[in-house]
Structure 1
Amino acid sequence: MRTLIVIPAYNEELTVGSVVALAKKYGDVIVVDDGSTDRTSEIAKEAGALVIRHKQNLGKGRALKTGFEYALSRDYEVIVTIDADGQHNPDEIPILVDPIVKDKADLVIGSRYLRKESKKSIPSYRRIGLWVLNKSTKMASNVDVDSQSGFRAMRRKVLERLNLESDGYSVESDMVVAATENGFRLLEVPINVRYDVPKKHKKNPISHGFSVLAGIVGLIGYRRPLLLFSTLSLLSFIAAAILGYLALEPYYSGGNVYLTQAIGAGIFTIIGIQLFVAGLTLNVLSKMVRE
């Protein structure tokens, strides 16, 4: 099956050459240079990749979309995505492509959790962040996968049906949600992941994590508004209950009702009701739009 390997890259001159050289054994390679200020494009070309360069940094999601647009403009049957930072081993590309060739899956995700060595090597701070992001993605998609893995393979028909909303790092979660909504078969396969790579932190891990989480919450709101607004409504009712207790507890002890807490309880109750009604309304509208 004719395969295209899409590599989004941003300031990865130290590793992109080796990733391209190894990936070339398994298909055509395109590097989407997302506005790098170093020699990423030059080195990728020298290693044998076709390079498309964004004039400015638009985000990983936008870089992948550029690669996908190129794939759809040609007769590629399988598209593989792999990061340019050297975390993934291009020699494992056949592991991802095999289930597609055997017609067992439409979208294959390389998972760091299916191999003990890879799971143990995840740094503690990443472990916590990934758990939050994976569970958030599960809320939006109803599937529990390594949602942040950038090492994937998919059939052409998946790209033809996906309408990805994200331009940033939440694109991986967006892809999972869109694929499940369209009824595509998802499968995880075990891969190795390295964390001792150059420039492993191009962004602050905490701000990066919150940025991705915000994107996923947006997906939940768009794809499953009732779930998101029901959760927010529940939190509002819990706050109302706590404030109500604080307002009335002195009264039962022979004192007076705390007016400020009582008013706060009433406000949070009204907010909770409004959020729930908004969730119901948006859920109906969302279904109507999709139909």
Structure 2
Amino acid sequence: MHNNTLIVVPAYNEELTIGSVVALSKKYGDVLVVDDGSGDRTHEVAISSGAYVIKHPRNMGKAHALKTAFRYAFEKGYEVVVCIDADGQHNPEEIPKLVEPILKDEADLVIGSRFLEDSKKNIPIYRRFGLKILNATAALTIDGVQITDFQSGFRAMNRRTLEEILKLNGDGYSMEGEALVHLAEKGIRIREVPITVRYDVPNKHKKNPLSHGLELLGGLLGLIGYKRPLLLFSTLSLIAFVIAGGLFLWAMTPYYEEGRVYLTQALGAGIFTIIGIQLFVAGLTLNVLAKMVRE
């Protein structure tokens, strides 16, 4: 496994944990750390721990760091690539568990899932709830593939998968989700294995969890809008109609007693009704266009 395997570690200001991640990972393959413009000693610690290091001149985001690593892996001829986070949340000792199905030719992409067997017991309740929403939304974008952990960053892939991912142009964390949609469409065999995750590591949130989650949800809704526009716009249309109905009932509250209506609420009901109609028509139109493009 060692000679043909590259362990990819995208890192940004992870001097406290990068050393141990590299030290534990390098017995399973070569380790490449992509220092994404860190302002601390991530670069120096990674090198002293035995990793190859590519340093971005500025912070460009996780997707760019992964793209840099994937291009390196492809150019150097690696057959297996493993992605693992630099903050110590993932256990490098579980790398063989992800690589094994690939070496046995049972999968092209293996995802470490926090929601299989006993993995999920370590997840804080608020994160588990948020991840469930994201995974349920993501399921609407992928046909025929059951994935429990859409946003896991602990993955292993073969060279065919690597080639397909290099064709993508995803930004930020959304690349992890967009890649799965693209790969599923290309017939990549995707499999999950259970992993353990730590949430007591330092610097574990580079972004506010809520804003990060909303960013991911926005990206997934964009994918649904592309793949299933009628579903997305019909849902939004229904929400608009429900709001319109609520405002209409509110507007009519004083009518039977006083013979008048609340004009502001009535106007709001009319506006949301128009919005609902426009959203539904837009969904129908985009659904037809999407089918034409795919055909």
Question: Shared topology, TM-score over 0.5?
Answer: yes
Partner of 2:142: 141
* Residue pair 1:165, 1:174 contacting (<8 A) in 2 also: no
Partner of 1:152: 155
User: How far apart, in 2, do the equivalents of 1:290 and 1:107 lie?
Assistant: 25
Cα distance change on mapping 1:47 and 1:124 into 2, 3 Å: same
Superposition TM-score, scaled by structure 2 size: 0.90
Is 138-147 or 127-136 further displaced after alignment?
138-147
Partner of 1:123: 124
**How many corresponding residue pairs?**
290
Q: How does 1:214-225 map to 2 (within 5 A)?
A: 214-225=218-229
Amino acid at match of 1:136: T
Superposition TM-score, scaled by structure 1 size: 0.91
Cα distance change on mapping 1:218 and 1:21 into 2, 3 Å: same
Deviation at 1:241, TM superposition (A): 1.7
Deviation at 1:98, TM superposition (A): 1.1
User: How far apart, in 2, do the equivalents of 1:105 and 1:244 lie?
Assistant: 54
Partner of 2:189: 185
* Residue pair 1:166, 1:215 contacting (<8 A) in 2 also: no
User: How far apart, in 2, do the equivalents of 1:273 and 1:73 lie?
Assistant: 52
Amino acid at match of 1:103: D
Of residues 45, 68, 71, the one that matches 1:69 is 71
Amino acid at match of 1:133: L
Is 98-107 or 281-290 further displaced after alignment?
281-290
Secondary structure of 2:16's counterpart equals coil
User: How far apart, in 1, do the equivalents of 2:90 and 2:226 lie?
Assistant: 31
2:5 aligned with 1:3: yes
Of residues 88, 91, 95, the one that matches 1:89 is 91
Secondary structure of 2:45's counterpart equals helix
Deviation at 1:121, TM superposition (A): 1.5
Is 130-139 or 259-268 further displaced after alignment?
259-268
User: How far apart, in 2, do the equivalents of 1:235 and 1:262 lie?
Assistant: 17
Amino acid at match of 1:126: R
Of residues 9, 25, 28, the one that matches 2:27 is 25
Amino acid at match of 2:85: D
* Residue pair 2:32, 2:51 contacting (<8 A) in 1 also: yes
Cα distance change on mapping 1:22 and 1:164 into 2, 3 Å: same
User: How far apart, in 2, do the equivalents of 1:187 and 1:252 lie?
Assistant: 61
RMSD: 2.0
Cα distance change on mapping 1:280 and 1:68 into 2, 3 Å: farther
Deviation at 1:153, TM superposition (A): 0.8
User: How far apart, in 1, do the equivalents of 2:51 and 2:198 lie?
Assistant: 23
Of residues 273, 279, 289, the one that matches 2:277 is 273
Secondary structure of 1:7's counterpart equals strand
Is 257-266 or 47-56 further displaced after alignment?
257-266
Partner of 1:212: 216
* Residue pair 2:19, 2:49 contacting (<8 A) in 1 also: yes
Identical columns (%): 67
Cα distance change on mapping 1:141 and 1:253 into 2, 3 Å: farther
User: How far apart, in 1, do the equivalents of 2:84 and 2:23 lie?
Assistant: 13
* Residue pair 2:147, 2:192 contacting (<8 A) in 1 also: no
- Structure 2: gaps spanning 5 or more residues: none
User: How far apart, in 2, do the equivalents of 1:194 and 1:139 lie?
Assistant: 29
